[in-house]
Amino acid sequence: MYASGPDYAHSAEVVAPTRWLFVAGTMGLDAGGGAPPTLAEQLELVWANLREILADAGMTVDHIVRVTSYLRSADYAEENAAARLVALGGRRVPTTAIVVGTLSESWLVELEVVAAA
């Protein structure tokens, strides 16, 4: 089958999971709820926030089996994909990126993940 890019995965099989974690859209906001001005800073924070959410459930990014990215601009796709590959240690998981008008213009990226353990 075709691949839309080198980081693309059509599917992921999860054999006999005992727990699922569905994480709502998470943004790259700091502890005070503020959004840094750059995409790079927001990507760093969003992955840090996701690691914290996963840790609270006794999981790590290794448990992520699906990522949906909501991007303020299509221009952010490449940087978002690169940050995802770094965050996941090069592991490819099924992903979808959607360009949206976010609730706040300062929010450049929002990630939703599914994890299984």
With a threshold of 0.85, does the pTM exceed it? Answer: yes
Give pLDDT tens digits for 54-106: 999 999 999 999 999 999 999 999 999 999 999 999 999 999 999 999 889 99
Nearest residue to 67 (alpha-carbon basis) of 85, 94, 49, 92: 94
19 by Cβ neighbours in 10 Å (0-12 / 13-18 / 19+) ranks as: exposed
Whether residue 26 is predicted with pLDDT greater than 80 in this model: the reply is yes
pLDDT of residue 100: 96
Strands (E), the chain: 20-27, 64-71, 95-99, 109-116
H helical segments located in the chain: 39-56, 77-87
pLDDT of residue 103: 87
pLDDT of residue 3: 72
- Quick check: 79 and 52 in contact, CB under 8 A? no
d(CA 106, CA 117) in angstroms, rounded, equals 34
pLDDT of residue 102: 86
The domain 20-116 is placed in CATH, from the list 3.30.1490.20, 3.30.1490.190, 3.30.1330.40, 3.40.50.2300, at: 3.30.1330.40
- Quick check: 110 and 52 in contact, CB under 8 A? no
Give pLDDT tens digits for 37-58: 999 999 999 999 999 999 999 9
Report CA-CA distances (Å) from 20 to 15, 46, 60, 85, 111: 12, 20, 13, 22, 17
Domain boundaries, the chain: 20-116
pLDDT of residue 5: 77
Contacts of 104 (CB under 8 A, 6+ apart): 35
